[in-house]
Each structure stands twice: as structure tokens, then as C-alpha cells.
Amino acid sequence: MKILVCISQVPDTSTKIVLKDNNTAINNQGVTYVINPYDEWYALIRSLELKESGVATDVHLITVGKPDTEPVIRKALALGGDEAIRIDADSNDAYETASYIAEYAKSIGYDLILCGKESIDYNNGAVGAMLAELLDTDYIGFASSIQTDGNSAVVKREIEGGEEIDTCHLPVVISCQKGVAQARIPNMRGIMAARTRPLKVITPSLVKAVTEIISYEMPPAKAGIRLVNAEDMDELVALLHSEAKVI
């Protein structure tokens, strides 16, 4: 079984985001980028578990981005991927990204394609479903457990008020979330080996984006807190009624 894992680069959650160009772009100066946690902790690690159990033979990693994304894909290699592919394009459009990945995936023929349920920067959660449509394969989203049996996959996923278990034939595209795998960190041997391993760079066909970011807006600043004397319940009740408006 050949597995393809989609890797995206996102800002670290501790990074302070600064906008530029009249709020139409993000200032990358000083921003720390990491592997999207849903891609790393769940999609990638589950693929490695499947390989370690003897189910999968190859785990390939793919990302869409310019050379500045190479440290992120190499970290994924350090965790245990067999081959890394960078699609040489810069896009924040889900359809464009899915089209680039689908073009490459068709040329190889993967049995299982895994991705995180969403990226933590744009939170679209759309690439997986679009990728499945472009590849004309089944899609299962928000998987919390993935098992494979020969030419089929058994997937547990969360639904409103409970869980459901789906089964489908391979190939299939699955987006992953918490529960599907146990997080791990790369060891020093893997890190050193990933630095010199070849990275395949692909020039994609031209795809026209279907969405465009017009501008960004920072969330409003948090209001300050107001302290109330624990003995003055009348003031607390009055504030909850007149200002917070919760009673």
C-alpha cells in the first residue's frame, strides 16, 4: 500500500501576527512556521503506524509551497516519511492547492491519501474533500480511527451526538483529527538524515484560483477585567444585569 500525506505550513500559535500592505498580507518577518498540527500529529503519524505494522510499504509527503516551506517538509521526513515532494506554487486557495496535489497523485497512484481535518491558519477544511472529487475517489472526513483490511478501510468518525463507523474500498481520501494516532517527536538520527535526503520539486500546471483574499482583520482586543469585592454581592448582581447583561 502506498500512502500520500498532505503537509501544510502554518504559523506557530505562539507567533504574533502583524499585517501589512493595508491589511491585505501577513508580514512574515519574525513569524515561526510549523507543520500544521492536524497533518503532523494525526495524518502523518497514523500513516507511519500503518507502515510500521506492515500494512503500508511507502509513505510519501507532499506540500504546496515555495522554498521557504522546505524546513517544514524536512521535519516531516525526520519523523519517518520515505519521500518528500514540494509542489512549487504559492497559494491559499483550497481548490488550487487540491488541484496541484491531485495532478501529482494521479501520476503515482496512491491507495490512501491522508490529510488533517483543517489547517489552523485558514480553517477551511476543504482540501481533502476537493482532492477526493478531483481524483474521483471516496472521501471520509474527521476520522478518529483508521484501520485497513486488504483493499478496504474501516474508519470511525465523529458525528453530531455520537460516532459512526464507515467502510469503503481503496483508494480513498481521509481527513484526520484527534484520536487517530499518538503524537511523537523526531529523533536525532531522523533529523540528521532528513537534512541531506533529496526533495523532489514539481512545477505544476497552471490552475486558476477560485477564491481571493481581499483583506485580513485582527480580532478585537480583549476588554479589561473588573474586580468586585467578594462581600459586595449587590454590586456583582448589578454589573451582571446592567453591563454583562446575562441576568
The answer on pLDDT for 187 being more than 80 is no
Q: 240 in a domain, yes or no?
A: no
Residue range 193-205, pLDDT digits in tens: 777 788 999 999 9
Comparing 18-22, 190-194, 197-201, 234-238, the range with the smallest average pLDDT is: 190-194
| Number of structural domains found in the chain | 1
Residue range 131-175, pLDDT digits in tens: 999 999 999 999 999 999 889 999 999 888 889 999 999 999 999
* pLDDT value of position 246: 83
Q: 76 in a domain, yes or no?
A: yes
Q: 239 in a domain, yes or no?
A: no
Query: What average pLDDT does range 90-115 have in this prediction?
Result: 96
CATH number of residue 103's parent domain: 3.40.50.620
Q: 244 in a domain, yes or no?
A: no
Q: 188 in a domain, yes or no?
A: yes
Residue range 212-226, pLDDT digits in tens: 999 999 888 877 788
SS3 assignment for the chain: CEEEEECCEEECCCCCCCEECCCCEECCCCCCEEECHHHHHHHHHHHHHHHHCCCCCEEEEEEECCHHHHHHHHHHHHHCCCEEEEECCCCCCHHHHHHHHHHHHHHHCCCEEEEECCCCCCCCCCHHHHHHHHHCCEEEEEEEEEEEECCEEEEEEEECCEEEEEEEECCEEEEECCCCCCCCCCCHHHHHHHHHCCEEEECCCCCCCCCCCCCCCCCCCCCCCCCCCCCCHHHHHHHHHHCCCCC
Q: 232 in a domain, yes or no?
A: no
Query: What average pLDDT does range 19-35 have in this prediction?
Result: 90
Q: 114 in a domain, yes or no?
A: yes
Domain hosting residue 184, numbered range: 2-220
